[in-house]
Homo-oligomer: A and B are copies of this chain.
Amino acid sequence: MDSPAQPGPKRTAFLLSQLGALASSRFAERTREIGLTPSEAGVLRLIGRTPGLSQRALADRLGAVPSRVVPLIDSLQARGLVERERSSTDRRNYELRLTIEGAQVLRQLREIAEVHEAELLAPLTGEQSAQLGNLLARLAGANALDLDLHRDAGREDPATMTQLHR
């Protein structure tokens, strides 16, 4: 049915693109099951990590435009997962925080991420998975990938798969 993979060039970069897309799409499918888009999942994760941050700061960390953040927070707020509170020191901006329910959903999200990872790497042995993780980490570091979202990974590493900006 499909051609024999072969010609000259290796296809590692190609595979990386495809598998990355597959991983993103599978993760999106899982978050959808709990009523969240990947973007919303990313927002919950960032607010959980930095309670009290403003929409502007959130937009910056997402690499998004402020106007885009508005309906995102609107939706999460309408579902009771996030709350806006006017800053007492500068009434122009909000301080964003997770509600109790929001924190609970974030925990669900972390479980989802673990299951997602386990299933994705199921075809590999434990050693192979570790190897893959190391190689990818090396690539990410060398490419100065936006690990901004991952620095500080000391204790609360949320492991959300997708950000707003792709």
Contacts and interface: CB of A to CB of B under 8 A. Distances in A.
Interface of A: 2-3, 5-25, 27-29, 38, 49, 110, 113-114, 116-117, 120-124, 128-129, 131-133, 135-143, 145-157, 159-162, 164, 166
Oligomeric state, in copies: 2
21 contacts: A2-B146, A3-B148, A11-B117, A11-B159, A12-B132, A13-B116, A14-B159, A16-B23, A17-B162, A18-B20, A18-B145, A19-B140, A21-B152, A21-B153, A25-B157, A29-B160, A123-B139, A124-B139, A132-B135, A135-B135, A161-B166
A93 to B, nearest CB: 20
Nearest to A16: B23
Question: By CB atoms of chain B within 10 A, which of A8, A19, A123, A149 has the most?
Answer: A19
